[in-house]
């Protein structure tokens, strides 16, 4: 198979995350050095193949120095699904199937295979292109760590470092002012960032989507701490967490997921805590800081392993597959089996039990 490959493309799709550049670097290096292939960088996700003017060759020179850089030198987009692409017609935005244009450009440029680096949504598009004859291989990414096909995604470890460092800083100011401080973290419908940063940062309450909480239980924990002389509390709130306030359940729902509003959940819960406990309460929203910055050594290594493994998949002709990490080893899985299977926190699992044993409340 390797002989029939001469030129491959690479794109990054969906939200960015630390480690994307390390993947690009690993793909370019191994494709060039091990196989003598040419690599073409596709800008802004699938958009780059719909509007091919900005496609550019990626050689060793182009990837020099990018290993520690956050973001992606290719740019990315989480709005450009080629099968339902928003275009303006007579002043109205309509969704058009632009995949025929993409396929035509793919062939025109002479690409023999395509490396798609992205999360669940991006891999779903990759799968559809594979079904239409494009030789794709996938590399999973997301800070949320919510893909069940892989033990861990790169970007998560860096996000965890960022969140943990922020909790460490909030401890000192919360304690000095005897305040309740809530910190909202990302993660969509999975509580991994909140759970692990909460444990690592010694939070007192962790609120995750997988364990609906009540304002009353959160306040009980704050009171319980006051009774032992601890007049401050740190609460880590996952952006997708659900809280029960009286009879209604709020927080994560379909609508919210489509248009997530940063800080919405933590601010709502914070106000209710302040009202109920009469304690000074503050809210910090980490937001996109979690997605930025230089990748941790762990993420750089995982990204490099994934990038090299993606090139090996192409060399072996194993298209329609995505690289993944299982029991610490790099393996691959059909993209078909990987998409749509989210990995969420087990509310009764070892990690949650560990947190509870450390005295952490989940507000339930
Ligand atoms: O999936 C990664 C993620 O950072 C989520 O944790 C978060 O909900 C979302 O993306 C934010 O997306 P955007 O960059 O479009 O605001």
Same domain assignment for residues 168 and 240: yes
Same domain assignment for residues 246 and 315: no
Instruction: Check 144, 146, 157, 189 and give the catalytic one.
Output: 144
Tokens at 262, concatenated: 């940063």
Indicate whether 334 belongs to any domain. Answer: no
Closest Cα to atom 15 of ligand 1: 15
Same domain assignment for residues 306 and 262: no
- Known active-site residue 144: yes
Q: Is 15 in the pocket of ligand 1 (CB under 6 A)?
A: yes
What confidence score (pLDDT) does residue 248 get? 52
pLDDT at 257 over 70: no
Distance 139 CA to ligand 1 centre (A): 18
Same domain assignment for residues 212 and 352: yes
Residues 4-25: tens digit of each pLDDT: 899 999 999 999 999 999 999 9
pTM: 0.94
Same domain assignment for residues 105 and 143: yes
Point out which residues pair with 178 in neighbouring strands: none
Indicate whether 331 belongs to any domain. Answer: no
Q: Is 291 in the pocket of ligand 1 (CB under 6 A)?
A: yes
Point out which residues pair with 12 in neighbouring strands: 117
Same domain assignment for residues 272 and 194: yes
The whole domain housing 264 covers 159-291+346-357
pLDDT at 246 over 70: no
Same domain assignment for residues 182 and 100: no
Nearest atom within ligand 1 for CA of residue 143? 2
Q: Is 263 in the pocket of ligand 1 (CB under 6 A)?
A: no
Tokens at 278, concatenated: 């009469």
Closest Cα to atom 10 of ligand 1: 15
What confidence score (pLDDT) does residue 255 get? 44
Count of domains forming the chain: 2
Q: How far apart are CA 262 and CA 332, in angstroms?
A: 34
Q: Is 124 in the pocket of ligand 1 (CB under 6 A)?
A: no
Pairing of strands 38-42, 56-57: antiparallel
Q: Is 38 in the pocket of ligand 1 (CB under 6 A)?
A: no
DSSP state of 289: G
Q: How confident is the model at residue 259 (pLDDT cuts 50, 70, 90)?
A: very low
Same domain assignment for residues 194 and 286: yes
What confidence score (pLDDT) does residue 237 get? 98
Q: Is 262 in the pocket of ligand 1 (CB under 6 A)?
A: no
Nearest atom within ligand 1 for CA of residue 144? 6
Distance 361 CA to ligand 1 centre (A): 26
Same domain assignment for residues 276 and 307: no
Helices H, strands E: what count in the chain? Answer: 12, 16
Same domain assignment for residues 119 and 169: no
Nearest atom within ligand 1 for CA of residue 193? 6
Same domain assignment for residues 287 and 299: no
Distance 219 CA to ligand 1 centre (A): 29
Determine contact, residues 47/78, Cβ cutoff 8 Å. no
Least confident span in 81-95, 151-165, 236-250: 236-250
Same domain assignment for residues 280 and 170: yes
Distance 184 CA to ligand 1 centre (A): 13
What confidence score (pLDDT) does residue 79 get? 83
Distance 186 CA to ligand 1 centre (A): 7
What confidence score (pLDDT) does residue 254 get? 46
pLDDT at 1 over 70: no
Indicate whether 206 belongs to any domain. Answer: yes
SS3 121: helix
């Amino acid at each position: 198979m390797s002989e029939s490959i001469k030129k491959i493309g690479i794109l990054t799709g969906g939200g960015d995350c630390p480690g994307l550049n390390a993947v690009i670097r690993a793909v370019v290096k191994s494709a060039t050095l091990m196989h003598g292939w040419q690599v073409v960088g596709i800008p802004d996700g699938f958009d780059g193949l719909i509007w091919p003017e900005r496609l550019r060759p990626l050689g060793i020179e182009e990837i020099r120095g990018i290993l520690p850089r956050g973001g992606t030198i290719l740019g990315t987009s989480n709005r450009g699904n080629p099968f339902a692409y928003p275009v303006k017609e007579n002043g109205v935005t309509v969704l058009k199937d632009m995949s025929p244009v993409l396929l035509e450009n793919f062939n025109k440029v002479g690409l023999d295979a395509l490396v798609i680096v992205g999360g669940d949504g991006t891999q779903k598009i990759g799968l559809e292109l594979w079904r239409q004859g494009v030789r794709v291989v996938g590399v999973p990414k997301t800070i949320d760590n919510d893909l069940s096909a892989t033990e861990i995604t790169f970007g998560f470890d860096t996000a965890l470092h960022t969140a943990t460092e922020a909790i460490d800083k909030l401890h000192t100011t919360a304690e000095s002012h005897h305040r309740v401080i809530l910190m909202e973290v990302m993660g969509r419908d999975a509580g991994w960032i909140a759970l692990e940063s909460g444990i690592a940062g010694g939070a007192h309450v962790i609120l995750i989507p997988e364990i609906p909480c009540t304002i009353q239980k959160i306040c009980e924990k704050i009171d319980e701490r006051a009774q032992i002389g601890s007049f401050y509390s740190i609460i880590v709130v996952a952006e997708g967490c659900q809280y029960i306030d009286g009879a209604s359940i709020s927080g994560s729902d379909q609508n919210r997921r489509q248009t997530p509003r940063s800080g919405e959940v933590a601010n709502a819960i914070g106000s209710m805590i302040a009202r109920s406990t009469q304690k000074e309460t503050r809210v910090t929203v980490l937001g996109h800081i979690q997605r930025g910055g230089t990748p941790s050594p762990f993420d750089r290594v995982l990204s490099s392993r994934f990038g090299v493994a993606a090139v090996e998949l192409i060399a072996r002709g194993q298209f329609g597959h995505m690289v993944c990490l299982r029991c610490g080893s790099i393996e691959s899985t059909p993209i078909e089996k990987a998409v749509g299977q989210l990995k969420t926190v087990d509310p009764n699992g070892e990690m949650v039990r560990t947190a509870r044993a450390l005295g952490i409340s989940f507000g339930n």
